[in-house]
């Protein structure tokens, strides 16, 4: 049978993840029966060394909330793109004579970039809900495609606004709303971030990076106001494809 190659996802929670199904299709399509993908729910990122030692065939893993930024000090190197975003969602594990070398990447950027291509037209401005690792990838894309944005945070710093400030917003020009927090993700599907849904109109389009459920309570309220909406499914698929190209090179190591 040869060597087994293991991939996985670290985060908390992870039970909702569709990544095992996506990667299994990669394995099947390329006739790689020795590859497996597992979910690893960690209470704290400091549990990572134990995970690596207990899974000697682990050659790479994806990173989801809340570890996309806190993982960075545990890595030996990160790509320039990941460094500029201060966020990592893909880690290649290189093992050499008992030593473990961790290489961080960010493929969320490509996933969100593909998602923006599905919008009916280019918005004039954007509002990002959340300020974590996923939001950093979103900001990088918006900068590159030249859409100005503001960030909404629970603890706003310079250049950001609070959720309370949202209540006064009106939408008189084409505006993109991007929901980057885990609020509304399975299994807690009956909650939504604070937003002035009553002020929405046809100028507004929305992207929720959550993909499970396919339609969050947040997006339902946008659809009820006639807004064009996208979820995180395309972003998930695209970032996984990019991560797979990074991971599978380990078969030659």
- The beta strand positions in 196-251, using DSSP E, are 204-208, 228-230
Q: Which helix (H) or strand (E) holds 39?
A: strand 35-41
Residue ranges, comma separated, of all CATH 3.40.50.720 domains in the chain are: 109-235
Tokens 């597992």 label which residue?
38
Per-residue pLDDT tens over the stretch 15-50: 999 999 999 999 999 999 999 999 999 999 999 999
How many degrees, rounded to 5, is the angle at CA 234 between CA 230 and CA 237?
155
Residue ranges, comma separated, of all CATH 3.40.50.10860 domains in the chain are: 5-106+238-252
252 pLDDT exceeds 60? no
**Domain 5-106+238-252 in CATH 3.40.50.10860:** yes
Instruction: Assess whether the previous peptide bond of 37 is cis (omega < 30° from 0).
Output: no
Phi, psi (5° rounding) for residue 63? -130, 125
Per-residue pLDDT tens over the stretch 45-68: 999 999 999 999 999 999 999 999
- Tell me if residue 146 falls in helix, strand or coil: coil
For 102-124, letters b (16+ CB in 10 Å) and e give bbbbbbbbbbbbbbbeeeeeebe
Residues noted as catalytic: 68
Give the span between the Cα atoms of 212 and 18, in whole angstroms: 8
For 44-79, letters b (16+ CB in 10 Å) and e give ebeebeeebeeeeebbbbbbbbbbbbebbebbeebb
Q: How high does pLDDT run on average in the chain?
A: 95
Domain range 109-235, its CATH number among 3.30.360.10, 3.30.43.10, 3.10.20.30, 3.40.50.720: 3.40.50.720
pTM of the model as a whole: 0.93
Q: Which helix (H) or strand (E) holds 48?
A: helix 48-54
Per-residue pLDDT tens over the stretch 57-111: 999 999 999 999 999 999 999 999 999 999 999 999 999 988 999 999 999 999 9
């Amino acid at each position: 049978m040869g060597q087994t190659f293991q991939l996985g996802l670290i985060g908390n929670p992870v039970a909702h993840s569709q990544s095992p199904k996506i990667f299994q299709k990669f394995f099947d399509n390329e006739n790689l029966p020795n590859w497996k993908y597992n979910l690893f729910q960690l209470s704290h990122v400091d549990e990572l060394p134990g995970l690596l030692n207990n899974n000697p065939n682990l050659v790479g893993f994806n990173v989801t909330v809340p570890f996309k930024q806190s993982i960075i000090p545990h890595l030996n190197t990160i790509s320039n793109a990941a460094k500029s975003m201060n966020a990592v969602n893909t880690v290649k594990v290189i093992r050499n004579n008992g030593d473990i070398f961790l290489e961080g990447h960010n493929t969320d950027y490509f996933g969100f970039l593909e998602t923006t291509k599905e919008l009916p037209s280019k918005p004039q401005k954007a509002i990002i809900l959340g300020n974590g690792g996923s939001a950093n990838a979103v900001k990088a894309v918006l900068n590159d495609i030249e859409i100005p944005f503001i960030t909404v945070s629970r603890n706003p710093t310079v250049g950001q606004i609070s959720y309370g400030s949202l209540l006064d917003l009106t939408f008189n020009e084409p505006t993109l709303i991007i929901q980057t927090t885990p609020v509304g993700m399975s299994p807690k599907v009956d909650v939504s971030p604070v937003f002035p849904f009553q002020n929405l109109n046809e100028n507004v389009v929305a992207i929720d990076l959550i993909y499970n459920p396919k339609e969050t309570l947040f997006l339902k309220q946008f659809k009820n106001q006639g807004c064009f909406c996208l979820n995180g499914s395309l972003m998930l698929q695209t970032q996984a494809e990019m991560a797979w190209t990074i991971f599978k090179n380990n078969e030659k190591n």
